[in-house]
Amino acid sequence: MYIRSMLYVPGDNDKKLGKVDTCGADAVVLDLEDSVAPQNRAEARRKVRAFLDQRPIGARKSKLWVRINAFDDSALVDLAAVLGGQPDGIVQPKIDSPEDVQRLSYMLDALEVRDSVPTGQTKICAVATETASAVLRLPEFATAKLPRLAILNWGAEDLSAAIGASTNLDSSGQWTLTYRATRSSMLLAAKACGAQAMETVYVDYRDTEGLRASCRAAAQEGFTGRAAIHPDQVAPINETFSPSMEDVELAKKVVAAFDSVDGVGTVGIDGKMFDIPHLKRAHRTLKLHEMYSL
């Protein structure tokens, strides 16, 4: 099942952790990285592990992921502290290449054995655009063998810092060329390696209509979910990345039309022609509708 909404929550914030079970997000990321001050990380690890232990797999309202720190920081300490709580996945920041995802996979192999976690259970979401090297090496995901990799996500803020940019937006408020190209490359890399393509955060959490419009555009391009930084963003994201009833009804018509005849590559519905790519899209729409309706 695709993750439509992925809400980030500081791992050391009791108030925000207390709202996780009712937030409605498909996945919640318990953060040990950017939203936690370095001096609070040990306490955040303790709180995240306790949070996971109190919510065993199968009894969780949302999937529970953990964002660790980078390899050159405290990644291994973070992993060793939380993996026994069986997070559904690990969000890996600031990678430079697919090799970094493989390195994390090896760490998970060992820690799953240590903590009696089923082998391969812990998935990975790689934030794949936070360094210049990572962006240039995105095409390598197409041939990388990374069975744990479930999601590729992109972000603009860390990349801006990495390349010394003063802004990532143009005068109209849209992404500048560097970030548009980065976003497109990440989308293609995700599709090429079979991972879910996750859209980056929409920073103005009060602008619900702007969020909806941005999500619609992302969904039309092929993104299947979005990161969120505020609980109020969850419902609009879930709604927008779920097939609309109009989409579902059209998909049913397309499937029924092709089922009614044998050996044809096109059918006509309400004066419009539909071909095999439309049929594949219709099956995908109905599959998503069924998953999100459970």
Residue 109 and residue 121: Cα distance in Å, rounded? 10
> What is the structure's pLDDT at 15?
97
Whether the model clears a pTM of 0.95, i.e. scores above it, the answer is no
Q: Are residues 9 and 138 in the same domain?
A: yes
> What is the structure's pLDDT at 179?
97
Task: Supply the CATH number for residue 39's domain.
Answer: 3.20.20.60
Residue 64 and residue 67: Cα distance in Å, rounded? 10
Q: What are phi and psi of 274, to 5 degrees?
A: -130, 135
Q: Are residues 236 and 258 in the same domain?
A: no
Q: Show the tokens assigned to 169.
A: 């937006």
Q: Are residues 213 and 266 in the same domain?
A: no
Q: Are residues 235 and 250 in the same domain?
A: no
Domain end marker among 202, 222, 240 = 240
User: Is residue 250 classed as helix, strand or coil in its secondary structure?
Assistant: helix
Residue 273: domain span: 245-292
Query: pLDDT tier at 232 (50, 70, 90 boundaries)?
Result: very high
Q: Are residues 175 and 278 in the same domain?
A: no
- Write down the mean pLDDT value for the chain: 94
Mean pLDDT of 202-230: 96
> What is the structure's pLDDT at 1?
67
Query: pLDDT tier at 222 (50, 70, 90 boundaries)?
Result: very high
Q: Are residues 178 and 259 in the same domain?
A: no
Q: Are residues 159 and 217 in the same domain?
A: yes
Q: Are residues 23 and 92 in the same domain?
A: yes
Q: Are residues 9 and 86 in the same domain?
A: yes
Residue 159 and residue 94: Cα distance in Å, rounded? 9
Say how many domains are in the chain: 2
Q: Are residues 140 and 72 in the same domain?
A: yes
Domain end marker among 219, 240, 261 = 240
Q: Are residues 119 and 252 in the same domain?
A: no
Domain end marker among 200, 223, 240 = 240
Q: Is the pLDDT of residue 294 over 70?
A: no
Residues 6+ apart with CB under 8 A from 60: 88
How large is the angle between the packed helices 98-114 and 75-82, nearest 10 degrees? 40
Query: pLDDT tier at 50 (50, 70, 90 boundaries)?
Result: very high
Q: Is the pLDDT of residue 216 over 70?
A: yes
- The DSSP line for 254-280 is HHHHHHTSSS-SEEEETTEEEEHHHHH
Residue 235: exposure state from Cβ atoms within 10 A (0-12, 13-18, ≥19): middle
Q: Are residues 286 and 143 in the same domain?
A: no
What is the per-residue pLDDT across 235-281, written as a single tens digit (0 to 9) for each? 999 999 998 888 888 889 888 888 888 888 888 888 889 898 888 98
Q: Between 208 and 269, name the one with better pLDDT.
A: 208
Mean pLDDT of 159-164: 94
What is the per-residue pLDDT across 95-154, written as a single tens digit (0 to 9) for each? 999 999 999 999 999 999 999 999 999 999 999 999 999 999 999 999 999 999 999 999
What is the per-residue pLDDT across 53-95, written as a single tens digit (0 to 9) for each? 999 999 999 999 999 999 999 999 999 999 999 999 999 999 9
| Cβ–Cβ < 8 Å for 222, 197 | yes
What is the per-residue pLDDT across 9-35, written as a single tens digit (0 to 9) for each? 999 999 999 999 999 999 999 999 999
Q: Which residues pair with 175 in a beta bridge?
A: 169
Torsion of CA 205, 209, 212, 217, to 10 degrees: -110
